[in-house]
Amino acid sequence: MVLPLGFGVLLGQLGPSVLVSIGALNVLLILLTTEPDRWWKVLGVAAIVNAAAFTAGAALGMVSILMAVPLAGLAILTIEVLSYRTARPELMIVVSACFVIGLGLRTGRSVFLPGVFGSFLLGGAWALILVALSARWHRDRPDAFPPTEPLGEALLGRVGRAHWISAFATGVAISIGLAVGVVLRLPRDYWVLLTTIVVMRSSLTATLERMGSRVVGTILGA
């Protein structure tokens, strides 16, 4: 993560380099819940989907607050359902976090969305290069990464009643929380923290250690 930031400082483009670092970080965080034999099936998609979610969040952040709050909840619900439907549940938390970090990106001026998408996607591509370089080392050292938890039926590509309830509860909770933030005039950093924490609830099988890693990583990226 230091390399993109270093180039950004040298080139005087720290803003885009931060987006590159966040894009790479959020792809690498998915390694915590992905079996090695599923790395390329999940991570290749993650690089693109994370960038798209981040850009969509940034775009939504430029519209009226009254529209952004309910649409944010709907977006999180959609991300969660699609992650199960496509049999890639590992993407659910990180993609949701990318979306809400983008949502909190606005600083009172418009954002150049193609540049945002390109920088974030470049970070995802850099992460894939890092994963490829580490793959041989991982094969030589089977215990290099902690074992992931079995995902069971989540890999079947089915969206059951429990998944819909989970997604609906997450979306509603986020909308209510963001509405409270708007009423109390809380900064958009609150949006990032709230949504990340609420989305964590949807991963019932995650351990506290892995949840902590995702929260810390996402907050540092934000």
The tens digit of pLDDT for each residue in 37-55 reads: 777 778 888 888 888 988 8
Place of tokens 């619900």: 77
3-state SS class at 8: helix
pLDDT band at 203 (very low <50, low <70, confident <90, very high): very low
User: Which one, of 39, 156, 37, 62, lies nearest residue 112 by Cα?
Assistant: 62
CB 99 within 8 A of CB 57: yes
Average pLDDT of the chain to the nearest whole number: 69
In the predicted structure, residue 76 carries a pLDDT above the cut 60: yes
Instruction: Tell me which DSSP letter residue 33 carries.
Output: G
CA-based angle 220:116:57, to the nearest 5?
70
Contacts of 186 (CB under 8 A, 6+ apart): 180
Task: Give the mean model confidence (pLDDT) for residues 77-92.
Answer: 82
Percent of the chain with pLDDT over 90: 0
* Domain boundaries defined on the chain: 2-221
Global model pTM greater than 0.75: no
Torsion angle defined by CA atoms of residues 176, 178, 181 and 185, in that order, rounded to the nearest 10 degrees: -130
User: Which one, of 183, 163, 153, 160, lies nearest residue 87 by Cα?
Assistant: 153
Number of neighbouring beta carbons within 10 Å of residue 218: 27
User: Which one, of 144, 145, 204, lies nearest residue 170 by Cα?
Assistant: 204
The more confidently predicted of residues 73 and 7 is: 73
Instruction: Tell me which DSSP letter residue 148 carries.
Output: P
User: Which one, of 126, 144, 110, lies nearest residue 22 by Cα?
Assistant: 126
CB 113 within 8 A of CB 201: no
pLDDT in tens, 125-168: 877 887 777 766 655 544 444 444 455 555 555 677 776 776 77
14-51 burial, b at 16+ Cβ within 10 Å, e below that, comes to eebbbbbbbbbbbbbbbbbbbbeebbeebbebbbebbb
Number of neighbouring beta carbons within 10 Å of residue 144: 11
